Amino acid sequence: MRKIKLLSPRLANQIAAGEVVERPSSVIKELLENSLDAGATRLEIDVEEGGIKLMRVRDNGGGIDKDDLPLALSRHATSKIYELDDLEAVATLGFRGEALASISSVARLALISSTNEDSAGWQVVAEGRDMETQLSPAPHPRGTTVEVRDLFFNTPARRKFLRTDKTEYTHLEDVVKRLALSRFDVAFNLRHNNRAIYSWRAGDSQLEQERRVAQVCGPAFMENAVHIDIERGSLRLWGWVALPTFSRSQADLQHFFVNGRAIRDKLVSHAVRQAYQDVLYPGRHPAFVLYLELDPSTVDVNVHPTKHEVRFRDNRSVHDFIYSSLHRALAKVRPEDTLAKRELGEGADETPGVNPFALSSARPIQGLAAGEFKGQETMGFRAASASNNYPASYQPAAISPADVREQMGAYGELHRPANTAATYSLPETADEEIPPLGYAIAQLKGIYILAENAQGLIVVDMHAAHERITYERMKESFACGGIQTQPLLVPESIAVSEKEADCAENFHDIFKSLGFELQRAGPETLLIRQLPVILNRAKVEQLVRDVLSDLIEHGSSERIQHHINEILGTMACHGSVRANRKLTIPEMNALLRDMEATERSGQCNHGRPTWLLQSLDDLDKMFMRGQ
């Protein structure tokens, strides 16, 4: 056998570099995180040839003392933690003390820093050969500059895995964008090959934050985003979520930050998918920029070398908080919110000298303050807000479970308020408020309702809109009446693992609340003795297995409720008005008013949009009026 020997510092650092330094973007991430931890409020980033030739980061942070400069390039040297208790509640982005040592082992690194304002600084240089550092005086204002040249110059095997300059720069740019989204109070300037690419000013107001989000994620995202700010106990979730109609073919516009750290976490992804499940078109992905704030001691950030993953102490509460917050936020969006955002965005374009990104202001969701999430929330129909001052000719009809049951039993009948006999037209005076979706003027091909509102023409997909209304009423009725259960004459036996059987026992109350009664009949056997009536034809065994898998992985599961909702959705689809059915003007107006009062009315059960607006300006452009 070969003898055991200590690795040389150079080889040890190069091995560590394999975990930390994958490509130029990995280097930029580590350098920028160090600058942010140092209290920098302005970051200057210069890159050449995608970062392979040069990466330079200058900040105005606290700087590094002369005596600490050589130590900064040593492995496991850090100013961010000193003892085990510090690791229990890490509040900084970096803490391992490996980044600079790893980078200097595979590149030519120069570190210049000063801790005062008199431009007296010092420079330390390392070139990845013998790991010995050279210290010399160098003028520098307060702050630090790190210069990394010729990445992987001494490790050809690693260098050949780098891609083209354009590809490497794209990855590097993505890292800068994520960090720019994580810290709105810091100014970022990025130059590539001596050409200015981005210049983001610092700002703490919501308007300035939205300007940066629009610049990073695109103006279309902000025009279709809803701002949320929700607190429950020690948890706070805020940021922007895109409407379901603004979906993506890939999960490329999803930014989630935990205490300012960008992460990719399975638990978070699952909670977000669950929140969008009822409104997103199959195969599409939601877009969001969200920030979760919680006690640092309740989250472990030391579970991955690149710190992209975290572990929560209470997975279930975090998952439920994210899911319920987003679910309610998306449910509360009404046509008037969407129209107000569009009107605000159009106004920005008409304002001379004003950045339209800055005025694409998302309206906050109201009524989501701390303490609202008490007990189980009913996810279903919510009556129109009392602030909607509709004309006296119409008042939204109250909806009772009896109305819903009647509709469930008589598909195809529209819910018609008694006072909709008159034909509506836009009011002649400005004193009378026009409903968001206006008043119906015609029906096109028995498929679309054409309505006129204050902005222009509203086109409504009649079947899709009524399908959502019917679906929400069915869910409300189901919630009000409770889950009807039925015992099985012959209990169904399921062979499971011992871990799954233990899980079924631990979560017995959850299954009971959902209409299931599971009994353990052996170490690896479960008996289904009772199930919901509505699921009597479902593949119950597979459903129970999937729920157990979710409970083991995430501590919670929405599969049973989702399966029930799928059945209700199918019933709603068959129970909604079909194409080619002629509606009277009062019937059309009744449908419009119900859309304004129904949760998630912007999308049908399958995620398709139910209505769209063609403003008068849009129509004028189409017909080249005024040109």
Among 290, 314, 337, where does a domain finish?
337
> Residue 239: in which H helix or E strand, if any?
strand 235-242
State residue 170's pLDDT score. 96
Burial of 193 (0-12, 13-18, 19+ CB in 10 A): middle
How much is the pLDDT for 404? Answer: 40
Mean pLDDT by 10 residues, the chain (627 residues): 80 74 93 93 97 96 89 80 72 75 89 84 80 83 95 88 94 96 97 96 93 94 93 95 89 94 89 88 92 91 72 90 93 82 54 36 35 31 33 37 41 41 50 84 93 94 90 82 83 93 89 87 93 81 87 77 76 72 90 92 86 91 86
Query: Does residue 439 contact residue 460 with C-beta atoms inside 8 Å?
Result: no
Q: What is the pLDDT of residue 129?
A: 55
Provide the angle, in degrees to the nearest 10, between the axes of the packed helices 462-481 and 401-409.
Answer: 120
**Residues 287, 244: Cα–Cα separation, whole Å:** 9
Q: How far is CA 580 from CA 123, 221, 246, in A?
A: 78, 35, 29
How high is the pLDDT of residue 502? 93
Q: Would 385 be classed as within a structural domain?
A: no
* Residues with Cβ within 8 Å of residue 449, at least 6 apart in sequence: 440, 442, 443, 458, 459, 460, 462, 465, 583, 588, 591, 592
- Give the CATH number for residue 302: 3.30.230.10
181 in the same domain as 210: no
Query: SS3 for 45?
Result: strand
Q: Counting beta carbons within 10 angstroms of the beta carbon of residue 260, is it exposed (0 to 12), middle (13 to 18) or buried (19 or more)?
A: middle
Which pLDDT score is estimated for 15? Answer: 74
> Does an H or E element contain 299, and which?
strand 299-300
Q: How many CB atoms lie within 10 A of CB 133?
A: 19
Which domain range does residue 23 map to?
A: 9-200
How many residues are recorded in the chain? Answer: 627
Instruction: Please give the pLDDT value at position 304.
Output: 64
Same domain assignment for residues 580 and 600 = yes
List the CATH number of the domain containing 474.
Answer: 3.30.1370.100
Compute the Cα dihedral for 280, 283, 288, 294 and give only its sign.
positive
Do 37 and 180 fall within a single domain? yes
Inside any domain, residue 468: yes
CA-CA distances (angstroms) from residue 199 to 25, 34, 190, 527, 565?
19, 20, 7, 63, 47
Do 255 and 179 lie in one domain? The reply is no
Q: Are residues 19 and 72 in the same domain?
A: yes
Decide if 598 contacts 388 (C-beta within 8 A).
no
Q: What is the CATH number of the domain that holds 110?
A: 3.30.565.10
The verdict on 438 and 461 lying in the same domain is: yes
Note the pLDDT of residue 388.
38
Instruction: Quote the Cα angle for 580-586-589, to 5°.
Output: 85
Looking at the DSSP bridge assignments, the partners of residue 452 are 439, 457
Does residue 353 sit within a domain?
no
Contact between 124 and 76 (Cβ < 8 Å) = no
Q: Which of 305, 337, 369 is the last residue of a domain?
A: 337
**β-strand 288-293 against 254-258: which pairing, if any?**
parallel
Together in a domain, 479 and 611:
yes
Instruction: Give the per-residue pLDDT at 244.
Output: 87
Q: Any alpha helices (H) in 183-243, and if so which ranges? A: 206-217, 219-223
Residues 135 and 230 in one domain: no
If you write DSSP's letter for every residue of 554-616 in order, what string do you get?
HS---HHHHHHHHHHHHHHHHTSPPTT----HHHHHHHHHHHHHSTTTTB-TTS-B-EEEEEH
| Tally of structural domains, the chain | 3
Distances from the Cα of 550 to the Cα of 235, 277, 613, angstroms: 23, 15, 40
Instruction: Match 């509506």 to its residue by tokens.
Output: 424
The token pair that represents 450 in the structure block: 């054409």
Residue 425 confidence (pLDDT)? 55
| Claim to verify: residue 530 and residue 405 sit in the same structural domain | yes
Q: Are residues 188 and 241 in the same domain?
A: no
Residue 456 tokens, joined:
């222009």
Residue 97 lies in a domain: yes
What would the two tokens of residue 384 be? 């129109």
Kindly state whether residue 438 falls inside one of the protein's structural domains: yes
Please answer whether residues 417 and 384 qualify as being in contact, where contact means their C-beta atoms are separated by less than 8 angstroms.
no
What are the tokens at 316? 């279930």
- Report the C-alpha gap between 538 and 515 in whole angstroms: 14
Task: Answer yes or no: do 194 and 213 share one domain.
Answer: no
Handedness of CA 206, 211, 214, 219 (dihedral sign): positive
The residues, any chain, with a CB within 8 Å of residue 30's CB and separated by 6 or more, are 20, 21, 94, 99, 100, 103
Q: Judge if 425 and 402 occupy the same domain.
A: yes
Domain boundary among 159, 177, 200: 200
- Domain-embedded: residue 557: yes
Give the integer Cα–Cα distance in Å for 614 and 606.
23
Distance CA 321, CA 315 (A): 10
Write phi, then psi, for 384 (nearest 5 degrees): -60, 145
CA distance 575 to 618: 35
- Any domain includes 57: yes
Nearest-10 crossing angle of helices 540-554, 266-276: 130
Residue 321, CA distances (Å) to 233, 299, 330, 564 in order: 10, 15, 14, 22
Q: Give the residue from 321, 186, 330 showing the smallest Cα distance to 244.
A: 330
> Taking CA 465 as the corner, what is the angle to CA 601 and CA 621, rounded to the nearest 5 degrees?
85
Does residue 138 sit within a domain?
A: yes
Backbone angle region of 387, left / alpha / beta, with phi > 0 → left and psi within -120 to 50 → alpha: alpha
